[in-house]
Amino acid sequence: MEKMVIYTDLDGTLIDFENYSYEITAPLVRKLESNGIPVVFCSSKTRVEQAYYREQIGVKSPFITENGSAVFIPKDYFPFEFVYQSVIDNYYVIELGVPRAQILSTIADARTKSEAEVFGYNDLELDEIAQILKLPEEASKRASTRDYSETLIKGDKTSESFKAMTELLEQEGLACTAGGKFHTVISNKSDKGKAVKVLHALFSKMNAGAVSVGLGDSANDKPLLAAVEKPFLVQKPGNWWDDIEAPNLVKVEGIGPEGWVKAISELTDISL
């Protein structure tokens, strides 16, 4: 079996889109890691959120947070020195994005100048965030503990004031992207694909010829899928694929975790 590194999205891919379960994928992830195949989380989720899933599933590999804002590498993981920008807990951190404190300051300034009626996690108490997210406070705390972005919960993106605010953010190197429910303000240098390439260069130095494998489910994963040698797109609930393209993309029949297991089982000689 060829050497490989697996880069995977979480929500709707490794983890069930509706109930956040990893029951289907966890046994295979553990087998992969025990066989020396790193499974790298590459998601919009925060450092704290990903640390939770890594502990629950048993993953020891590096991980990529907040849509490619930073690469977290456990100390002593690579047997050589490399350039990093900061140290958080027991991780060396390669930063592509900018710190949240800088983002919050820029948002506050842009909000004042534009008179946009918006608010985000930083403006709320934990119990208020939990009510909005409809999650327990512990899970809400993990979601709102951000290092390189801010979530805006309210804001009419069609209003002139909101458009003015986003223009001011763009002038400062930030992007405001609309999600299914909320908006995310993040550095325009944050990129899943770039983060994967940075990390894979380190893996390739440790294991020459290691093949990069990517799995995702949505347009948000396009940079990730475009950056790897073997990209796989799993299905959305309802058995359909998001309309994205990437070189050598393989569309897997299987929703989220079921598609994930199918793709990896066919790619490797490791199965459940």
Domain ranges of the chain: 4-97+190-267, 100-187
252: part of which helix (H) or strand (E)? strand 250-255
Which of 1-5, 200-204, 219-223, 243-247 is least confident?
Answer: 1-5
pLDDT attached to residue 179 = 65
Cβ atoms of residues 121 and 151 within 8 Å:
yes
Higher pLDDT, 272 or 187: 187
Mean pLDDT, residues 185-211: 96
Helices (H), 121-249: 126-133, 137-144, 160-171, 192-206, 222-227
Q: Is the confidence at residue 272, as pLDDT, over 80?
A: no
With bands split at pLDDT 50, 70 and 90, how would you rate the model's confidence at 205?
A: very high
Distance from the first to the final alpha carbon of the chain: 17
Domain spanning 4-97+190-267, CATH architecture: 3-Layer(aba) Sandwich (3.40)
Higher pLDDT, 194 or 245: 194
| Type of residue found at 149 | S
Main-chain phi, psi angles of 120, to 5 degrees? -135, -170
Cβ atoms of residues 244 and 226 within 8 Å:
no
Q: Is the confidence at residue 147, as pLDDT, over 90?
A: yes
Give the list of residues 6+ apart from residue 157 with CB closer than 8 angstroms, or none: 163, 166, 178, 183
Q: Is the confidence at residue 143, as pLDDT, over 80?
A: yes
With bands split at pLDDT 50, 70 and 90, how would you rate the model's confidence at 180?
A: low
Q: Is the confidence at residue 156, as pLDDT, over 80?
A: no
pTM of the complete model beyond 0.75: yes
- List, in sequence order, every residue forming a beta bridge with 221; answer none if it has no partner: none
Q: Is the confidence at residue 158, as pLDDT, over 70?
A: yes
With bands split at pLDDT 50, 70 and 90, how would you rate the model's confidence at 125?
A: very high
| Type of residue found at 192 | K
58: nearest Cα among 84, 39, 85, 71 = 39
Mean pLDDT, residues 33-60: 95
With bands split at pLDDT 50, 70 and 90, how would you rate the model's confidence at 195?
A: very high
Mean pLDDT, residues 185-200: 97
9 is catalytic: yes
Mean pLDDT, residues 252-270: 94
Whole-angstrom Cα distance, residue 214 to residue 42?
A: 9
Q: Is the confidence at residue 1, as pLDDT, over 70?
A: no
Mean pLDDT, residues 209-237: 96
Longest dimension (CA), the chain: 58
Helices (H), 150-191: 160-171
Higher pLDDT, 99 or 270: 99
Main-chain phi, psi angles of 149, to 5 degrees? -160, 170
Q: Is the confidence at residue 240, as pLDDT, over 90?
A: yes
Q: Pick the catalytic residue: 9, 11, 16, 191?
A: 9
Q: Is the confidence at residue 155, as pLDDT, over 80?
A: no
Own/partner pairs for 79-83, CB < 8 Å, 24+ apart?
Answer: 79/206, 80/205, 80/206, 82/202
Cβ atoms of residues 100 and 146 within 8 Å:
yes
Q: Would the CA dihedral through 22, 268, 196, 58 be positive or negative?
A: positive
Q: Which two tokens stand for residue 165?
A: 């605010």
Instruction: Place domain 100-187 in its CATH homologous superfamily.
Output: Putative mannosyl-3-phosphoglycerate phosphatase; domain 2 (3.30.980.20)
Distance of CA 185 to CAs 36, 97, 254, Å?
36, 11, 32
pLDDT attached to residue 133 = 86
Computed over every residue of the chain, the mean pLDDT equals: 93
With bands split at pLDDT 50, 70 and 90, how would you rate the model's confidence at 253?
A: very high
pLDDT attached to residue 54 = 96
Place of tokens 């990896």: 264
